[in-house]
Amino acid sequence: MSVHTAKQISLKEYLKEADENKVQIPEFQRDFVWSKSNMIKLASSLLKGYPIGSFLLMQNTQEYSKRVIEGVNINSNVNGKDCLLVLDGQQRTTTAYQILYGKGEFRFYFDYGKFIEILKDENIQSAKDEKLETIIEDSIEDLIIVFDLKNKKRPQSISEELSNKLFPLDIILQAPRGKNYSTWLGDYSFDKAGGNSAEFTFLNNISSIFTERLINNIISYQASQIIIDGSTSPNIVCTIFETINSTGIRLSIIDLLNAKCFPSGFELSKEILKTFEENPIFIDFDTEDKNEFIGLSIIKIIGLLSKKRSCKKSDLLSLDAQTIKQNWENAVNYLVNFLEFAKAHFGTIGIKFLPYKDMFVPLAVIIGDGKFDKQNADHVKKVEKWYWTCAFTGYFDNATESKSASTVKEFLGDSNNLGWLDNDNQIPTLIENSKMLYTSEFNEIDNAASQQSAIYKAILNLIILNEACDFQGNKKLIKDLKESDLQDHHIFPKKFLASQNPKIEKNEANTILNRTLISTIANQAIKDKQPSIYFQDNQLFKGNLLDEKDLARHFINEEFTNQKYAKGNFSKQNYDDFKKERKRQIIEIIKSKIA
């Protein structure tokens, strides 16, 4: 990567370049989001002469779509190849531009009348007066007045500004309405002096102090620029962006590809929204950011279908718009088909039931391939075996991109070799290295208490697959309920366990061995009741109590619901026996899945 030597540029020149469309924002940047209070702080820093940070820019290569700074008029005569793209400094650039060019939804003024009063009260007569430093430090931010454009009380003309003693900040670097800052200050002194020569002299002196100690800080401000060469790879651009935005919203692969696809007329962000509208199954796998799972999974599938057969970040970022466009619909179908397959075969009815989000990408490519036959029991069994082995061994805890690519190759083979689907001897690395799992005691289950744990989620999958029903009287199957309507319920409530002597600690109560899936409504009705009470609650079950088979589908032995395990009779040994028996049943199911 070639980086130009950092150079200094006046703020005036920098904002002029932005106004002329020579500095723009790449489309992968988020929108301008700074609040009014943040904008006031920046205005205050500029007036005080404080540094506001450097600006990191990149030469435009026409690879990324771009937009002008918010508030700037588009100039179609400007050659886009010559503009610079802001990587770091968008919020500061936009704020400074809107304040000093009078653009955006706010207009910024300085309470010049109040400033004069303060200096008069403190008998400040010179810009070198030591007391002035304290006044500037303590008072400047409070003297910045902001009006919303919708506010009818804001000054509508220069005469109203003079009348209200409000100095407009947008005349410091330019002269909108035909009046620059020195003319405005001269008019103010003349108008307020009212022919009094002594007052005129006093106001002119204040004007000089104001100009020297505040306005000149903005006029002479030098901004530091670092300009990255336009040949810099997208992967490095993404890394740089993530590094400098480590405390905010990070740039994603989708953001960069969206900017890359935009010029070709293929708007990635709109296509992702379209997939949600056309494929209802995606609703169950939605997140706050639709790019996070569905969008990125589709792109990764395209990466695995490409010539490189890779979903590494650098390879995904090198995908061209045409490849993404041509493979988009096919990749969407791969993912839709797999999510439907996963619901039926793995019990993954929603996003919070995915042991690993990334494990779905290679599996989607495998079952979407023409070599895979859903009617072939051997093919289905191999995919299921890989899924459960992966979930219970932590295989996808790291290096997911390389493992995704190798898994596809191991299943499907290549032009020279058959894969595991068609050759039983071509056993995938995961399966080969996990043979000891068949005789394992699965001790990791005991400590699986985090809802983010792959083992925790995989056991919830097993409960769903086991045709477990809700704890309400309708006995509706868990798999038929919406993900948002489900809770992973403590079978023995934490409060009940904490009341025992000796006390059963929170970490022991939260284990997956003491959790099962029921509806939110049932969970709220049970609250802190112990199983010996709520499993006999006719009102909860509407007279249709769960029988031995219903409980077994939750891996619960009926004996643990009777009075022997009620408060007064209960002991930690009882609880340990309950967990031991439940673990035995779960391990039995796991071993049948990976055999």
- DSSP for 414-451? -SSSB-TTT-TTS--HHHHTTGGGGG---GGGGG---T
Q: Quickly tell me which residue has 């509806």 as its tokens.
A: 519
What pLDDT score was predicted for residue 571?
80
Do the strands 7-10 and 55-59 form a parallel or antiparallel pair, or are they unpaired?
A: unpaired
* pLDDT for 239: 62
E strand or H helix that includes residue 224: strand 222-228
**Could you say which residues of the chain have pLDDT below 50?**
1-2, 246-249
Task: Report pLDDT for 341.
Answer: 94
* 260, 234 contact by CB (below 8 A): yes
Q: Which long-range contacts (CB under 8 A, 24 or more apart) does 298-301 make?
A: 298/272, 298/328, 298/331, 298/332, 298/335, 299/253, 299/254, 299/257, 299/324, 299/331, 300/358, 300/361, 300/404, 301/331, 301/334, 301/335, 301/361, 301/364, 301/365, 301/368
- Residue 123 pairs in a beta bridge with none
Strands (E), 23-82: 23-26, 55-59, 66-68
Structure tokens at 339: 């999510």
CA triple 134-136-139, angle to 5 deg: 95
pLDDT value of position 247: 44
pLDDT on residue 246: 44
Helix, strand, or coil here: 389?
A: helix
Residue 506: CA atoms inside 13 Å, Cβ hemisphere, count?
1
Contact between residue 43 and residue 144 where contact means Cβ atoms under 8 Å apart: yes
C-alpha distance from residue 137 to each of 123, 143, 443, 498 (Å): 17, 11, 62, 56
pLDDT at site 405: 92
Tokens of 442: 């699965």
Residues whose CB is less than 8 angstroms from the CB of residue 197 and which lie 6 or more positions away in sequence, other chains included: none
Cis peptide before 531 (omega within 30 of 0): no
CB atoms within 10 A of CB 440: 17
The angle subtended at Cα 28 by Cα 25 and Cα 30, nearest 5°, is 75
Compute the residue count for the chain.
Answer: 595
Sheet containing 55-59: give its strands across.
7-10, 222-228, 55-59, 84-88, 23-26, 66-68
SS3 content of the chain, % helix, strand, coil (to 5): 55, 10, 35
